[in-house]
C-alpha cells in the first residue's frame, strides 16, 4: 500500500492536487479515506465526478473501479452525503499568526476578570472584527467572544451571513457559539484549545458535522493549543488561589 499514486489510473491534475494535501501513496489515501479525498479535490477547485470517487475507492481496495459493485457505490454516495464539511485550511504559519491575535483578545478578557477567550473574524485575509468574553461586565450570558465577533463582522459587511469568512477562537466553541457560527455560514472555524466539558466541535458533541443542521462550516482545532490552554489554566489557578 506504499505504492505511489500515479497516472493512470488517476488524472494528472488529481495526482498533483492530492500531493498538495500530503496524499502521495495508496497508504496515505487509505488513511484519508476516499470520500474525504474526493471532497478535498472538490474544495481545491477540481471538477470531479462520481467516477473520481470510484477511482479513489478502488485504489484503496487495490482494485479497479469496474470491480466495485452497486452496494459499494451506494455506500460511498451515502457517506458522501453524510460527511462533515471539508475545506482547505490556510498555511500553519498564517493560522498561528491569527491565533496570536485571538490570544491578545483573551488576555484583555483575563485582565477584566472574564474567562480568557478571544475570537476574531477574518475576511479576505484581513481581520475585520475581534472580541473577547464580556459576559460578566455586560451582564449577558450570550456575550461570548465568538458571538460578539460575529455581530461586529456582520455590521462591517452589512450582512448577517458571513460566507467566505474564517473565525479564529482560542477555545473550542460551546453549543451556543457553534450554532451561531453555523447560522452565520462562516467558511472555516479554527480554534486553539479543546473544551472537554462543553466543546461542541467534537469534545462533547459535534454540531459542525451534523448534516441535519445543513452545515457549511469546516473546523480545525489545535492551533497554538498549548498557549490557549495555558492562559485558561493561569486564570483559573489565580481565581482558586484568591479564594
**Residue positions forming the annotated binding site for Zn(2+):** 144, 174, 177
C-alpha cell read off for 44: 481545491
Burial class (CB in 10 A: 0-12, 13-18, 19+), 100: middle
Pairing relation of β-strands 126-132 and 166-171? unpaired
The C-alpha atoms of residue 181 and residue 189 are separated, in whole angstroms, by 8
Burial 66-79 (b: 16+ CB within 10 A, else e): eebeeeeeeebeeb
Contact 160, 154 (CB under 8 A): yes
Helix (H, G, I), strand (E, B) or coil at 94: helix
Cite the annotated binding site by residue number: 144, 174, 177
Q: Is 152 a catalytic residue?
A: no
The C-alpha atoms of residue 220 and residue 213 are separated, in whole angstroms, by 19
φ/ψ of residue 22, rounded to 5: 80, 20
Contact 173, 150 (CB under 8 A): no
The dihedral formed by the CA atoms of 228, 233, 239 and 243, expressed in degrees to the nearest 10: 170
The C-alpha atoms of residue 140 and residue 146 are separated, in whole angstroms, by 14
Active-site residue among 114, 146, 172, 195? 146
Question: What amino acid positions are annotated as catalytic residues?
Answer: 146
Amino acid at each position: 500500500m506504499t505504492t505511489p499514486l500515479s497516472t493512470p489510473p488517476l488524472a494528472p491534475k488529481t495526482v498533483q492536487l492530492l500531493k498538495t494535501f500530503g496524499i502521495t501513496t495508496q497508504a496515505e489515501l487509505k488513511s484519508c479515506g476516499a470520500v474525504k479525498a474526493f471532497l478535498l479535490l472538490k474544495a481545491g477547485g477540481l471538477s470531479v465526478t462520481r467516477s473520481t470517487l470510484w477511482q479513489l475507492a478502488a485504489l484503496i481496495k487495490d482494485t479497479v473501479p469496474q470491480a466495485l459493485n452497486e452496494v459499494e457505490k451506494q455506500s460511498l454516495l451515502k457517506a458522501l452525503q453524510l460527511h462533515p464539511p471539508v475545506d482547505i485550511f490556510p498555511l500553519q504559519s498564517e493560522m498561528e499568526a491569527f491565533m496570536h491575535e485571538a490570544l491578545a483578545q483573551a488576555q484583555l478578557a483575563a485582565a477584566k476578570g472574564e474567562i480568557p477567550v478571544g475570537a476574531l473574524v477574518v475576511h479576505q485575509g484581513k481581520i475585520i472584527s475581534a472580541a473577547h468574553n464580556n459576559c460578566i461586565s455586560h451582564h449577558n450570558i450570550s456575550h461570548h467572544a465568538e458571538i460578539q465577533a460575529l455581530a461586529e463582522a456582520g455590521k462591517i459587511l452589512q450582512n448577517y451571513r458571513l460566507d467566505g469568512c474564517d473565525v479564529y477562537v482560542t477555545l473550542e466553541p460551546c453549543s451556543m457559539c457553534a450554532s451561531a457560527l453555523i447560522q452565520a455560514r462562516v467558511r472555516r472555524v479554527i480554534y486553539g484549545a479543546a473544551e472537554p466539558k462543553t466543546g461542541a466541535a467534537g469534545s462533547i458533541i459535534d454540531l459542525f458535522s451534523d448534516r441535519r443542521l445543513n452545515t457549511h462550516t469546516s473546523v480545525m482545532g489545535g492551533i497554538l493549543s498549548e498557549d490557549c490552554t495555558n492562559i485558561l489554566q493561569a486564570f483559573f489557578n489565580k481565581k482558586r488561589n484568591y479564594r
